[in-house]
Chain A
Amino acid sequence: MKYFPLIWAALCRKPVRTIFTFLSVTAAFTLFGLMIGLGATMDLVQQRAHPDRVWVLPRFDFNGMPVTMGRQIAKLPGVKHASIMTYLQGYVGDLKNRSGAIMLDDEYGRIFSDWPPTPAQWDMVRHDRRAIIMSRRLATQFHKKVGDTFTLISETVRADGGKAWDFKVAAIAEEMPENSGGYIIGNYDYYDKALPLADQSKMNEIDLQVSDPAQAAAIAQRIEKMFANSGYPVRATPENVIAASNFGGVDISAITRKIALAGLGMILFLTASVIAKSVRERLAEFATLKTLGFSDTGVVGLVMAEAALPCLAGALFGTSIAAVLVQILPGILPPNFALPTPTLSPAVLGWALISACGVALASTGLPILRLRRLDIAAALSGRT
């Protein structure tokens, strides 16, 4: 710590250079934070996937399946809860504002208890047929607050011939990191009973919870077999398998790592050039230090610290900017499509600091070699 004034003086010798190095490093680490944070979200989704949950979807088609299938599945041995859901798609006000709600039965909230809505909020949808839970992002987008009416205009025609579906915003809940596009949760019964008789009692998805996660794959297979020759063949998949195949098979983590690396490569050259230049300009100063009795290691330490300080500060500052951007970005980016929100976890900051140290270390390699071979007499007389 006592050498800090020495390092500080070195950095302040060319303030413009130091500031711009810091800014460049900050930009690179802002990107690093966003990219590695996005990868962290992908990992998180996979970690959080519950191996005891199985999703059952139509195998070939998205036409409705009869709700009785849900009851049949609920009766299978090893199945703790089974729930059904369907989607209501449409738009709000203008065709451009596409939106949709997932209409869930009473069991759903118990199976997906890890979702953001609280038990009290789930109960609101269970007890009030017109109630919906809206995610904060959509509530902001559509300017809704609790108690407001929300109208979705859909191609799904109601029994009364109308296409406008009215809901009451009962609660506003937090976002899911894997689904930054927002969500609306409604009551299946309300939806179903509003449909013409011929369209009633259909659903698009069955989700179930098994008592023993080890049995999930076997139960999924059993369900597939059960309906293989029916009018509604299904595909049943444990949630962790689905999480592994997210984003259309695109390996987001690999792409984000490459982009983050490109940023690091860029600042590596910058810091290397700056530190090399700084050392070259101050050879006489280093020679003086050596004359005063500073060891080789001490001088090397000073150079490294001089490189590391802007890098670490940039890493810290850059990740902080990324953390702020994560909050703002979903509102700025075009709607109707969304990547997961990056998670700026302590681990991401950790990786940023480690990378910053790595960059500082790598960039000081050449100058350090030069310093170790420094001819003190020559340096002091300015002959190098």
Chain B
Amino acid sequence: MMLRQIIAVTSIGLRSLPQRLWESLVIVVGTGCVAGVLLSMLSIMEGMYQAGARAGDPRNAVVLQKNILFENSSNIPRSAASIIANAPGIARARDGSPISDASMIVFVPAQLRKNGTQAAMTLRSFGDKGAMLRQGFHMVAGRMFQPGKHELIAGAMANSQFAGVGLGDKVILPDGEWPIVGIFTTGGLLDGALVGDTGTLMPAVRHKSFNSVLVRLASSAAFATFRNALATNPSLSVDVMRMPDWITRGNADFNAYFRAVVYGVAAILGLGALFGCFNSMYTAVESRGREIATLRALGYSGLPIALSVLLEGAVLSVAGALIGAAIAWALYDGVMSGFGSDVFFLTVTPPMVAIGIAWGIALALLGGLVPSLQAARWTVSDALRAK
């Protein structure tokens, strides 16, 4: 009975929407703006997160200098690197050698392709196990660098973001010009970087120690063995983390800040949309006064009327949120973007769309609460007198 009343009242309301076109549009546009802005900004975080997640192979663990979270400020001396490589818990290659790669990174001067401003690129080194440790690593053009030669390979996204790092281009390093002999991809953050041979690069850029050691764990349970072996070795002062944990921790500060900014912006905009929703639904209830009074006179109770007002707002706001999400998706999904030396694709995912819809519904419910209660409380005589 109640349900039939709700359906009946809501359908009457929805059918009269065209008469209240502008008020309805206010709700659609308001929630659309909120969802659109929210999703556009979240697409940056999601893009970075996904690129990081693809680099964060859960089978790998990373070793860094103790209490240092960022690779470029971490130092792992050569002596420590060989102790780490021989620690228990590391998977073995077919020849019996441990799958471990001590490597260095430096930032090299670069130029942004889009506006020519100064930037920096990551230059990372690979040892003989470097490629094996990177999930999905394969060459897409040219060939792999040869150890011992002054050669580099570039990530698939590097040349679109930075100028002059395509196949055949030369990169100026301390020991002269290093040609780019191949293009690789991993699908992760490394795709914006340059890669060279550890043994050749380190002396060239005068690096005396490594920045980090990456190892493939023998099994997931082997992590504890590996970590304990390093922690109990008095000659080492290092931290061990599973690769995904490290990436999460490394981005934690940035993510916390950025999330606060994104949701703060969305909240202010949402507040504006909320007042707009309230205004529209208040007007809608007012203009449907006679209709509501008639329904009350026919014996409809207050609740279905209140619910139908809320439902109508929710339908409009979901429509708005979907339009906003569609615009964010069309404008930004898959667009290449960069932050510092990181290159990634902006991404709009279905869960993000769900967040946008949730915001839309929340706005409609909050904005519609008072107007709908008012509609429900109206007595027949009040409503018929109202104009």
Contacts and interface: CB of A to CB of B under 8 A. Distances in A.
B95 interface: no
Given A89-B73, A95-B67, A60 B173 contact: yes
Interface stretch (A138-146, A211-219, A266-274, A289-297): A266-274
B282 A16 contact: yes
A23 interface: yes
A23 B275 contact: yes
Contacts of B341: 248
A27 B254 CA distance: 26
Interface string A225-255: 0000101010101000110110011110000
Interface stretch (B55-63, B107-115, B130-138): B107-115
A30 B268 contact: yes
Interface string B20-48: 00110110011001101100110000000
Contact of A262 (B37, B66, B73, B275): B37
Contacts of A28: 269, 272
Best-buried of B114, B256, B276, B283 by chain A (most CB within 10 Å): B276
Contacts, number: 157
Nearest to B273: A266
Interface string B255-284: 011101100110011011111101110110
A198 interface: no
A35 B269 CA distance: 12
Interface in B164-221: 173-174, 205-207
Contacts of A266: 29-30, 33-34, 269, 272-273, 276
A241 B118 contact: yes
B106 interface: yes
A276 B342 CA distance: 49
A335 B23 CA distance: 42
Contacts of A7: none
A21 interface: yes
B272 A336 contact: no
B50 interface: no
A17 interface: yes
Nearest to B324: A262
B336 interface: no
Contacts of B257: 333-334, 336-338
Contact of A60 (B22, B65, B205): B205
15 contacts: A20-B282, A24-B275, A24-B276, A25-B272, A31-B265, A31-B268, A61-B205, A62-B72, A229-B174, A245-B119, A249-B114, A249-B338, A273-B26, A277-B23, A332-B260
Interface in A14-43: 16-17, 20-21, 23-28, 30-31, 34-35
B253 A336 contact: yes
Given A61-B207, A241-B117, A245-B117, 18 more contacts: A16-B282, A20-B278, A21-B279, A24-B279, A30-B268, A63-B206, A89-B73, A155-B65, A231-B206, A245-B112, A249-B340, A251-B115, A262-B37, A269-B30, A272-B22, A273-B22, A334-B260, A338-B257
Interface string A317-337: 000000000000000111111
